[in-house]
Amino acid sequence: MKPKIIEHEQIILAGISYYGDPFGSGDAWTQENEIGRLWVRFSEYLKNHKEKIPEVKTFSRMFEVHITHDETMEKGFFEIFTGVELNKITALPPQLLLKILPRATYAVFTINGSMMNTDWEMKMHRELLPEAGLKANMGYEFQLYDERFKGVDKMDESELDVYIPVIKL
């Protein structure tokens, strides 16, 4: 699987986050781990307070950002942020955070079906990026969920894009 390389302007997001070991309470792709709980919490907020988020581009595109910190390698702790894209920086309710992802060159991978239940992230970083003469840059990456993602109960029918900021080796 070869990544598509794109240049992307900064991305302004509004959402919520979790910091710690997201898999300490459950495996991937479940509402029982911290990422699943974060999505449930954010979805509930949107269901009840969507009108309180000004300047949203669309609610049909959702972002899950993985941000590494000093404790990532040592303890497996990192930040997970779920959110929606905004047209511009704006005041938000206190329950929400603002994240600004800088302009970057991204390697974009599309994953689908049974591939989602593999260690695709490790494969991208250890094999696919180096094979393409690239390495991850900036300490974050994100997954873009749109109408192609059908839900955790329909993984075989689902697809999403993974964006990794990169530089050439």
pLDDT in tens, 125-145: 999 999 999 999 999 999 999
Tell me the pTM.
0.93
Alpha carbons 118 and 131: distance in angstroms, whole number: 19
Residue 85's identity, in one-letter code, is: E
pLDDT at 116 over 90: no
DSSP-derived pairing of the beta strands 11-20 and 134-136: unpaired
In this predicted structure, what is the pLDDT of residue 26? 58
Average pLDDT over residues 88-106: 97
Residues in contact with 94: Cβ distance below 8 Å, sequence separation at least 6, in sequence order: none
Contact 98, 12 (CB under 8 A): yes
In the Cβ-directed half-sphere of 100, how many Cα atoms lie within 13 Å? 8
State the pLDDT at residue 118.
78
| Model pLDDT, residue 86 | 98
* pLDDT over 80 at 23, yes or no: no
> In the block, which residue shows the tokens 């307070």?
49
